[in-house]
Structure 1
Amino acid sequence: MLLARKGHKVLILDRNPFPSDRAASTHMVWHSGVEYLSRWGLLDRLEGTGCPPMRNFNLDLGELVLSGHAPPAGEITMAYAPRRLILDDLLLTAAREAGADVRTRCAVRDLIIEGDRVAGVRFADENRAMHEVRAPLTIGADGERSTVARLVGATSYDVQGRIGGTIWAYFADLAIDDMEFYARPGRMVYAWRTNDALTVAGICFPYRDFRDAVSDRGTTMPAEFDALAPGFGERVRGASRMSRWRTGCASSFCRTPVGRGWCLLGDAGLTMDPITAAGITNAFRDAALIAEAVHEGLEGDLDSALAGFEERRNAVSVPLYQFTSDMARLEPPTQEVIDLLVGLSQSQDDSDSYFGVFAQTVSVVEFFAPDNVQRISAAAARA
């Protein structure tokens, strides 16, 4: 969409039909991601789908409860969690309007290589007929199991594997206050609002427990809600489950995202555990960075323009990746973490800044700077 708007010829290939309801996505677009939608002129369209804005964070830690609002992203003070069939359709419609050629049910089978460069793709259409398209740049925005990454042999690094997993469902008549979280050792309960007056409610597990929970999710999930957060569990039992129990689990890794004639975007280049629900927001940021670099490069030196993308991506995404990986282990909090959380409970501004880490309006590096952590934790001694 962004490149087509800049006047470039764009072909989008996807093996799936659209719109589709992505079972692996819990839908969250944090404040930073919403700001991109606003910048691209798509926020009004999202609001027109009836997806409710969410501003209130509520984090129940057992003996402590933190509530507040993340600092804004520009003028954006809210998050949204649109169903993927709605968000994906909105984005593809905007891409078509910008002039992109969107073809679904088309699977990339191979890359065209000329010398040491990727020069296009060979793909099969829905009738299995093969086609060849040449292009100065092939962008893999094809997820954790990226075909483009595999075909170019993209190098993986800081690989942490499967750390956790999540099980969730849609519920009707489940009253919540925007976004609710219940953090317990070994578990994280979450709930937020989506389209059609529905609520997404689920639990994050360490991977070892996730595998067991998946096998008997119909029994496991209600019992887990009751054990972890009895009041919330009672509300869940009084609501109507409107879908099957869905699952999400990703291997955590970083990949080298650029090479000669190719680049990787979103989960194809860096996949993190779903516990921070960062995937869509990360993909929007990558798209903005890539579009800027490609537009510059297609009018000059493409390789040079893309060379800085990995560094710019990693400056934001790698600290968040490490934070997410640590959180996904769901280990009992250390005394240092307890002191930090108690300190947060003494300051609304600091609580809001902590929520801003998730909303991606406060950088992980800034919030967890030793001086800042020490300052916040000092309040625990006075509590």
Structure 2
Amino acid sequence: MNNYDVIVVGAGPSGSTLAKLLAGSGVRVLMLDAESFPRRKPCGESLNPGAVAALGRVAGYTNVEQAFDFPYSHLNGWRVVSGKTTLEAAYPKGDFGIGCRREVIDQWMVQQATRAGAIFEQRTRVERLIWEGDRVTGVVARSPEGRPLTIRAAIVAGSDGLRSVVARSAKVNRYGPLRKAAFTMRLNGMQGLSGKVELFTGPHGKVIGLAPIGGGQANMTVALDSNQSSALAGRERSAYVLQEARAIPELFDRLIEAEIEGEVLACGPFDRPVLPHFIEGMVLLGDAAGYYDPLTGQGIYRALRSSEIAAPALLQSLQSGRSEPIRQFVVDRNQEFAFGTKLQHFIERLNRQPLIWRSALRLVGAVPLLRNKLAEVIGDCPKEAQPCIPVMKSP
């Protein structure tokens, strides 16, 4: 393999978005992923309005639905249920999200990147970073046939998720105190689906998420404390997670005819903070840049948006040969997501205090201004058009 301007490790939403934007601006981009596409992965499989708008910007469509050629469901808001307390909210101004199979949307985004000119090598596992002093200058990887590869680039972008090899090789990520895991499945025959993401909260931080994903199917994700999920060692996984879901009274009847399609996938723990850092020649995006309990469903939006913010900075850095634009990107990204991150932590902690949690739900539900604002914030609803990505000048 030749040298590249940018190596993108991971072909999920953040990686494909960055590769598409950079390749479309004339950058030589290589995108690597250890898996064979299309591939399933643990995910709630719902995209909020901010994520849908970002897909439209990346794909170049004012109405992104014009570009979708796969089954999906419209999501017009969300519903939270805790015991006998319910809070419902609709996204404002006609904004909407979508629910769809994760492997389908990922494959669609990979196609966007390769059509723009990015080179995509799947089943190619990155093992470690290459260093020259304190600067990252490439990666050591292994081909699908097991052949070692040394690939150089001016910048390596780690978009490889919760267990990022790039972050681990740079020694900047760690496990946080929140020990939580999730089990994700697809259901046929689920009753009572609406155009909303539904969250059912229970004791000890248990959360069950439901989202229609098109074709009459639903995604169900059961999140539990890690010590609860350890019971899986002696049980069949699908029976266990259905038992946990049916323990929620409102879900019992709705699950009577439900059948799991395919494998139940596991993910966790849900707390992988990244230490403050700046490393020459390296940037982290999406979940690789830090991960926390995704109860608010904003993960894919953050992946897409972080790459939108990163692309101009990487272009400027490549053009100028200077690192300041990437340093500024880290500041800009942290500022953009600061409030949402604090809200995410606050909601997770509040959910562990059932009486306070239900009181908060009732309070928000009783004040339309609060309810509408919360829907707007959690939906990352777009306020204005984002600026175009600058085109790289010819050398």
Classify the TM-score, shorter chain.
0.7 to 0.9
Aligned residue number for residue 69 of structure 1 = 90
Residue 32 of structure 2 is aligned to residue 13 of structure 1:
yes
Q: CA deviation at 1:180?
A: 1.9
For residue 341 of structure 1, what is the aligned residue in structure 2?
Answer: 361
Task: Output aligned runs, 1:178-217, within 5 Å.
Answer: 178=195, 179-186=197-204, 187-212=206-231, 215-216=234-235, 217=237
Taking the aligned partners of 1:121 and 1:318, their CA distance within structure 2 comes to 31
Q: CA deviation at 1:257?
A: 6.0
1:142 is matched with 160
**2:254 is equivalent to residue 238 of structure 1:** no
Query: Contact (CA 8 Å) 1:28, 1:277: kept in 2 or not?
Result: yes
CA distance in 1, matches of 2:173, 2:224: 29
Structure 2 counterpart of 1:120, from 118, 131, 138: 138
8 Å contact 1:163–1:328 — kept in the other structure?
Answer: no
For 1:231-310, list aligned pairs within 5 A: 231-255=250-274, 256=276, 258-310=278-330
Distance in 1 between the 2:234 and 2:67 partners? 36
Going from structure 1 to structure 2, the CA distance change for 1:308 and 1:334 (only over 3 Å counts) comes to: farther
Distance in structure 2 (CA, Å) of the matches to 1:91 and 1:164: 29
Aligned counterpart for 2:57 among listed residues 30, 39, 53? 39
Distance 2:173 2:165 in 1: 13
RMSD of aligned C-alpha atoms? 2.5
Tell me what 1:331 maps to. Answer: 352
Deviations 1:244-298 (A, max 9, x none): 3332223413324641011111111111123333322211111111112111221
1:3 matched to which residue of 2? Answer: 22
- AA aligned to 2:80 is L
Aligned to 1:83: 101
Structure 2 distance, partners of 1:124, 1:262, is 20
Q: Find the partner of 1:177 among 194, 205, 230.
A: 194
Counterparts of 2:287 and 2:380, CA distance in 1: 17
The answer as to whether partners of 1:222 and 1:233 remain within 8 angstroms in 2 is no
CA distance in 2, matches of 1:83, 1:318: 29
Higher RCO (C-alpha under 8 Å, 6+ residues apart): 2
Q: 2:157 and 2:220 mapped to 1: Cα distance?
A: 34
Overall identity of the aligned pairs, in %:
21
In structure 1, C-alpha distance between the alignment counterparts of 2:290 and 2:162, rounded to whole Å? 8
Which among 369, 375, 380 is matched to residue 360 of structure 1? 380
Give the aligned residue type for 1:96.
T
Is the 2:49–2:95 contact (alpha carbons within 8 Å) kept by the matching residues of 1? Answer: yes
Which deviates further from its counterpart, 349-358 or 282-291?
Answer: 349-358
Partner of 2:370: 350
Change (3 A) 1:215 1:277: farther
* Per-residue CA distance 1:86-138 (angstroms, 9 max, x = gap): 01111111111000010111122333323332122232211122232221111
Shift of 1:341: 2.3
Q: 1:112 to 1:241 in 2, by over 3 A?
A: closer
How far apart are the structure 1 equivalents of 2:322 and 2:144? 32
Please give the alpha-carbon distance, in whole angstroms, between the structure 1 residues aligned to 2:300 and 2:234: 28
| Residues matched between the structures, number | 355
Give the alignment of 1:87-106 within 5 angstroms: 87-106=105-124
Residue segments in structure 1 that go unaligned for 5+ positions in a row: 364-383
Give the partner amino acid of 1:170: R
Aligned to 1:221: 241
**8 Å CA contact retained: 1:45, 1:90:** no
* 311 and 16 in structure 1: CA distance in 2 versus 1, 3 angstrom threshold: same
3-state SS, counterpart of residue 306 of structure 2 = helix
> Relative to structure 1, is the Cα distance of residues 107 and 257 closer, same or farther in structure 2, using a 3 angstrom cutoff?
farther
Instruction: Please tell me the residue identity of whatever aligns with 1:177.
Output: S
Pick aligned residue for 1:154 from 140, 151, 172: 172
Counterparts of 1:93 and 1:47, CA distance in 2? 12
Q: Is the 8 A contact 1:160 1:253 kept in 2?
A: yes
Distance, in Å, in 2 between the alignment partners of 1:344 and 1:165 is 28
2:317 alignment partner, SS class: helix
Secondary structure of 1:242's match?
A: strand
Matches of 2:203 and 2:260, distance apart in 1: 26
| SS at structure 2 position matched to 1:361 | coil
Partners in 2 of 1:239 and 1:77 — Cα distance?
A: 30
Task: Name the structure 1 match of 2:77.
Answer: 56
User: Per-residue deviation at 1:362?
Assistant: 9.3
Partner of 2:151: 133
Question: Which structure 2 residue ranges, 5 or more long, are not aligned?
Answer: 1-19, 384-395
Query: 2:242 is paired with a residue of what secondary structure?
Result: helix
- 1:284-343 CA distance string (max 9 Å, x none): 1111111121112211244100112222222243443344345445412354x5443222
Q: Tell me: CA distance 1:302–1:194, structure 2 relative to 1, closer, same or farther (3 Å).
A: farther
CA offsets 1:10-60 (integer angstroms, 9 cap, x no match):
0011111111111x2222221111110011126336632121111032222
Question: CA 1:291–1:332 in structure 2 vs 1: closer, same or farther (change >3 Å)?
Answer: same
Query: Does the aligned pair in 2 maintain the 1:70–1:354 contact within 8 Å?
Result: no
Q: Which TM-score applies when normalising by structure 2?
A: 0.82
Indicate the residue corresponding to 1:373 in structure 2.
none
